[in-house]
Structure 1
Amino acid sequence: MSAPFAPQLRIPAIYMRGGTSKGVFFRLEDLPEAAQAPGPTRDALLMRIVGSPDPYAKHTDGMGGATSSTSKVVILCKSESPDHDVDYLFGQVALDRPFIDWSGNCGNLSAAVGPCALELGLVDPERIPQNGEVEVRIWQANIAKTIIGRVAITNGQVQETGDFELDGVTFPAAEVALAFQDPADGEGSMFPTGAVVDELEVTEEVAVGGRIRATLINAGIPTIFVNAQDLGYSGTELQDDINSDPGALARFETLRAHGALRMGLISRLDEAASRQHTPKVAFVAPPKSYTASSGKEIDATSIDLVVRALSMGKLHHAMMGTAAVAIGVAAAVPGTLVNLAAGGGETRTSVVFGHPSGTLRVGARAEQADGRWVATEATMSRSARILMEGKVRVPAEVLA
């Protein structure tokens, strides 16, 4: 007779939307002790909770949503730093293989961190007004950066409902303003090659002649920007235009690998497969009118440029928050492909870009110091809402 199966583990969790993403949020101390430290045990637990890897690409047996925007996990804890309220660790869970990428941040879920930290009691109650706004000081542990989230408070509670509309999200909610401090990713140069535009060596399948112009930037998240026309695109493509074309996806992954190598993020091209979350790859074009995926008409006169970006090997349905930071910072630096697509000119402090679901405004401040460009802050507004709270169940043998 076979031994009986152990009961499932019950782990306190919050299922939450932030921006155009959603994920499962945990308080560090609520995780099983064996999973409180980074490593294979933690990864195995979180992947099983999400339902990855799933050869059917459905996440039927887990909390994930079978897209890069919905296969995410977050771990929060009260910060030991007097300058921060909460430490925030983000994991991007792969859909089709046993892997969690901890190499970067999620800008969309950053909007949910403040409200979630308040819900979990991780912010000093003395800092929370009865009515008004509280600045939640967030330490982004993946990239060692500070994010300020401004969260509305009504009658001593987080205000989640409101009239702020975000393209890519169906219903309005309360606005969460985000400020990404010193948003250049990591400790290296914001432009790792020292140039605002590089000629990137790729393959003939990616671009004619095996070369393509690119802006390689570390801001918000490492991102590779190329011109849409150099890839044969208009910049107004929607998800199915790219994601239904395996050849196109393969070209973008090859481009991403070559860009990652040039940026110094990997030492061999084949290492890109184990670093799916970063860098991102995006293509830009001057403003054009188009119909968004929701049916909304986007007029060229209402935007500065159009941008399409890929995440985890697929065209994103809207725009990743961290990539939006990269767009804002790159637009602020004269001569980048993003800046040129937006009309060029001197440093700008904000830009409105069109994405597959609509439009987004992002602000950024960039300046030159000792001959190098640096970004001091990037800002944008998102929204967030708790979808469910309680305990997530997971088979106990995942920790065996």
Structure 2
Amino acid sequence: MTRRSFIRGIGLVSAQGTTAGQIWDALLAGPVLENNRGCALVSDGTTRVSQLAIHAAREAIAQAQWPRSALAESRTALIIGTSKGPIERWIDEIFHHREPAPLIGVGEVSFDVARALGCSHGPRLTVAAACASGLQALIRADQLVKAGACDRALVIGAESSLHPLFVAAFKRLGVLARPEIGCRPFDESREGFLISEAAAAVCIEAETSDDEEGIYIHRTALAGDPYHLTGMDETGEGIRYLLRAVESADADLIHAHGTATLTSDPVELAAIAATAGPDHPVIYSHKAALGHTQGASGMISVVLNVLAHQHGAVPPNSNTTQPISHERVQIASKPIQRQITHSAVLAAGFGGTLAAVSLKSGGI
């Protein structure tokens, strides 16, 4: 029988705080992103993206109660998802005409994390798939566990690319909202997103018995959408395929990609509605409250879904006041109390990278 991957620990740092619990409490209050001060950490000399990744990882490891010796084992994998890695440092060195440090690509983040946490002998991979990077990293880790290539994995999605170069690029693409409007996922008056920075981490382990309790990865799926560099196929077939593959028809919660762009939100919502079951799943996007953290966003969604399972609640879509109408889904502007035993996460990246993961609780 294929081994299931159980989630043993979670960690999160974002614009709304520096721990998963702190951020969860903030999200239930319905904040709208105004700035990134809540993501502030004391600099330790590493790049910003690595610092965020290490911070989130330490919280997840502490919750999982993994000793440092477990991280050093050859059966423990380290999988990182990041869209741009330490690119701000590379840009800074170029603009200030300094001798650039040796360039090892986005894999530099996994090197920094491994060195800081003692991940010395196990498999180490870095996934760069635009805004699906983090979720694709989790899928790869789950594949390794199920294949028996490792017994546990530390998976991190991390992003810090707030450089004016990228702000200008997203603005030219027409996907940024005015700050005074903010990100409004699935809203009739949406304009786009605000970029942000964050890191999310999970510790997963192979199950040890058939009746094991906890939250586990139920299904995963990958897909591609060749329709347009920055937009989805208008039929939504890629998203529909993902949702069918992760068996989302029975899900209580679907954590959408939901970036509030003019073209993609209606396509994603229509695909969700078309594949939804009779119990009207709750649709949530964290991007109004946390901003769009690009490569980290899918892993943030996973961490928040774990918390939804644990607390029996879903935060409000805090900046969505005129939701696009669809009878088969719920887009709530207030917190919802609901038992969550099955949830799904969607991630979509520019260039057509798509991913989905579903979670289940207990022995279901």
Report the TM-score, using the length of structure 1 for normalisation: 0.27
Larger Rg: 1 or 2? Answer: 1
Higher relative contact order (CA 8 A, sep 6+): 2
Report the TM-score, using the length of structure 2 for normalisation: 0.29
More helix by proportion, 1 or 2? 2
